[in-house]
Amino acid sequence: MSESIIRPSQRSLLGHDILLISVMAVLAGCGLIYEYLLSHYAGRVLGSVESAIYAMIGTMIVAMGIGAFLARWFKDAFTAFAWLESIIALVGMGCILAIASMIAISYSLPHMFSAIFNLPPDIVLNGYVFEKLQSAARFLPYVFGLLLGMLIGMEIPLIARIRQHVYGRFLENNAGTIYGADYIGAGIGAAIWVSVMLSMPIMQAAAWTALFNIVAGLVFLWRYHQHVRFARLLVFCHVLLLVLFAVLLLFGSHWMKDLSNVLYKDKVIYSQATKYQHIVLTERLRRNQPEPITDLYLNGRLQFSSVDEQIYHTMLVYPAMLASNRHERVLIIGGGDGLALRDVLKWPVEHVTLVDLDGQLLSLFGYQNERYSAPDSITERLSSLNNQALVDARVTVKVADAFLEVEQLLADEDYFDTIIVDLPDPNHPDLNKMYSDYFYNHLRQLLSADGAMVVQSTSPYHAKKAFVSIAKTIKAAGFDFVEQYQQNVPSFGQWGWTIATRKGASASNRIARVSQLPVPSRWASRDYLLAAFIFPNRFFEFHETIEVNQLGTGTLYDYYRQAWQTENELYKN
């Protein structure tokens, strides 16, 4: 049946309006959550979080405009809208799983072909065809973003036409009413995303969002079924969608974990999405290693490997502790794995304050927190790596945003002999502020006059400009002496750190005065540490052209992102 004109009573018009405007608000909220879901997942898959999110939002906005134009092709607005909701629910519910499946397949094919042709285990095919398949699979989030955007863009024109037919006349404020419901619904959707769904497994978030689409579609069918062609078929489709919703709610997260695990070369033993990041632990066995080698990945990036993390943490902790005149009070920013803390506790410290944002990560490594729990076998394994450092009586753990917590420490007039900043690389805009002149100035005020501060500073080989910018930013924050040093960590390659002192002498001069290490180390000696301060002759020749990372500029994030994009292009070529 086509769009016949309905002339209900004035009383029933209010009921129609409440239903149509409520449906529009619900769908607007669902549409915004789908946008966030795809943006969030695209950031994880594509690596460059900020650019992926902005590109996805831009893609979906343009697609919504295209969808609004395409809506005029449908003569029967009732039938088109009813089918539209079922299609949006199907695509929105299944797109994340489809993307993960395609990426997993594209990365598995080289190994499958290697096995088929019985190639040696250390040889994996990685030719042009496989690279293109992987690139195409990683581009899929934008394809689904374009499709979903077009479908969502059709909703407003169709429901506006339906409302006008309900009234049986032209409505002057029709567009304003529908857009008002759309904006309010989108705002509610944003609040739900931030407060509830951001901490959910992504498949559960997609399934629950699709459920609202399904329910809205069923309510619409119940009220206007006499104006919808193939209404019974649509009801059957919605029942199937409810079954699919139940299946994905029960098994979707497990399937996503299995598909994501394909991307890791070693066996995944733990995978969990927290409110702030996706945590993955892997293990592998080696004949010359009595214990399994454990690797930690955050958002797909390796954070440490148990086979050589001692090198990294020795280079992080020992120079700063040696350069500090006293060791009573130590502040660690980040370092939620407790490994830097483990090495700090080897020194004669009285109190250590550790500030980390992610309580779930801390609980994995042995921190006792009633809000979060982790499998006992995982916690035992990881807490043995850090020697149960997070439950040491000398340690205070603060689950907080360090950017804000540092201001509170200043207000409380806390001061520290050594400050260790063990944050992830500045690979996300949210982390950029933790590498800013503003933040380092606050840390300078917390540091004792005869103390030292050290900052993990990414790779001087792969991200040279970012590495140098960190030192210039610390210098701009008011430290008198700022130096950088480097060491090879097999899991990462060449890695770098920045060390600063407020007054007196530089860190390297202070270390040079030491005849032997007061706390023995398996890896380090005085000469070993001093040698790390030596760089190639022309390494800093472009120092003057590098900018300071001022708060709000994103300078360091841009340096870092550009460096790794160039690196990836070089590998491809």
Q: How confident is the model at residue 516 (pLDDT cuts 50, 70, 90)?
A: confident
Q: What is the mean pLDDT of residues 521-537?
A: 92
- Lowest pLDDT segment from 163-172, 295-304, 359-368, 410-419: 163-172
Long-range contacts, 517-520 (Cβ 8 Å, 24+):
517/318, 517/322, 518/347, 519/318, 519/321, 519/346, 519/347
The alpha carbon dihedral of 186, 190, 195, 197 has a sign of: positive
Instruction: Establish whether 295 is an annotated binding residue.
Output: no
Q: What is the mean pLDDT of residues 111-124?
A: 64
Range ranked top by mean pLDDT from 29-43, 116-130, 276-290, 555-569: 29-43
| Residue 570 confidence (pLDDT) | 37
Please indicate whether residue 223 or residue 122 has the higher confidence score (pLDDT). Answer: 223
Q: What is the mean pLDDT of residues 459-471?
A: 94
Please give the Cα distance from 397 to 405 (Å, whole number): 12
The first and second tokens of residue 346, run together, are 């080897």
Which residue among 343, 358, 422, 558 is the active-site one? Answer: 422
The alpha carbon dihedral of 331, 336, 340, 345 has a sign of: positive
Residue 323 has pLDDT above 50, yes or no: yes
Smallest CA-to-CA distance from 447 within 394, 502, 403, 388 is with 502
pLDDT tens per residue, range 207-236 = 999 999 999 999 999 988 888 888 899 999
Please indicate whether residue 24 or residue 354 has the higher confidence score (pLDDT). Answer: 354
| Residue 120 confidence (pLDDT) | 63
pLDDT tens per residue, range 339-386 = 999 999 999 999 999 999 999 999 999 998 777 777 888 899 999 999
Q: What mean pLDDT, rounded, does the chain reach?
A: 87
Q: How confident is the model at residue 5 (pLDDT cuts 50, 70, 90)?
A: very low
| Residue 124 confidence (pLDDT) | 57
Instruction: Establish whether 392 is an annotated binding residue.
Output: no
Q: Is residue 153 a contact partner of residue 66, using CB atoms and an 8 Å limit?
A: yes
Instruction: Establish whether 401 is an annotated binding residue.
Output: yes
Residue 412: other Cβ atoms inside 10 A: 8
The alpha carbon dihedral of 488, 560, 301, 568 has a sign of: negative
**Eight-state DSSP code of residue 502:** S
Edge-first strand order for the sheet with 395-399 is: 395-399, 351-356, 329-334, 416-422, 447-456, 493-501, 481-489
Residue 572 has pLDDT above 90, yes or no: no
Gyration radius from the chain CA atoms = 28
Please give the Cα distance from 444 to 535 (Å, whole number): 26
- Lowest pLDDT segment from 160-169, 216-225, 446-455, 537-546: 160-169
Residue 128 has pLDDT above 70, yes or no: no
Instruction: Establish whether 356 is an annotated binding residue.
Output: yes
Instruction: Establish whether 313 is an annotated binding residue.
Output: yes
pLDDT tens per residue, range 389-413 = 999 999 999 999 999 999 999 999 9
| Residue 47 confidence (pLDDT) | 56
392 included as an active-site residue: no
| Residue 8 confidence (pLDDT) | 58
First CA to last CA distance, the chain: 59
Instruction: Establish whether 17 is an annotated binding residue.
Output: no
Instruction: Establish whether 319 is an annotated binding residue.
Output: no
Beta-carbon-side half-sphere exposure of residue 436 (alpha carbons within 13 Å): 17
| Residue 573 confidence (pLDDT) | 38
Please give the Cα distance from 148 to 87 (Å, whole number): 9
